Amino acid sequence: MSRKFEVSLEATYTIEFEDAVFDTVDDEWRKVFYNLHTPEEIAAHLGAQLIRGFPLAHIDGWADLPNHYASIIDFGDADCEAWEVKPEDA
């Protein structure tokens, strides 16, 4: 028998981006992809995708850039605490 739970965690990641990641985003790019303007918005968007396991070259708008232009360099606190746990069928 197995049981499934949804476990919500809060963790901090440090991600390093090459300038080309930000330089890619301009008005023409925004018309096709995402309405991102600040480096923080771009980092948040890309960071969420990287943490989900998508390499840079698999993310719409950055597929022509090498994966190493956006790298998770620190996985944060390994002792992070779960702030919500519930059975999956709840």
Spell out the residues 6+ positions from residue 35 whose beta carbon is closer than 8 angstroms to its own: none
Whole-number Å distance between alpha carbons of 61 and 27: 12
Q: Cβ-count burial of 25 within 10 angstroms (0-12 exposed, 13-18 middle, 19+ buried)? A: buried
Residue 89 lies in a domain: no
Matching residue, tokens 């232009």 = 69
- How many structural domains compose the chain? 1
pLDDT at 77: 64
C-beta neighbour count of 31 within 10 angstroms = 8
Residue 87 lies in a domain: no
**What residues make up the domain containing 46?**
5-82
Residue 72 lies in a domain: yes
Residue 90 lies in a domain: no
Whole-structure pTM over 0.95, yes or no?
A: no
Residues of the chain scoring pLDDT < 50: none
pLDDT at 4: 83
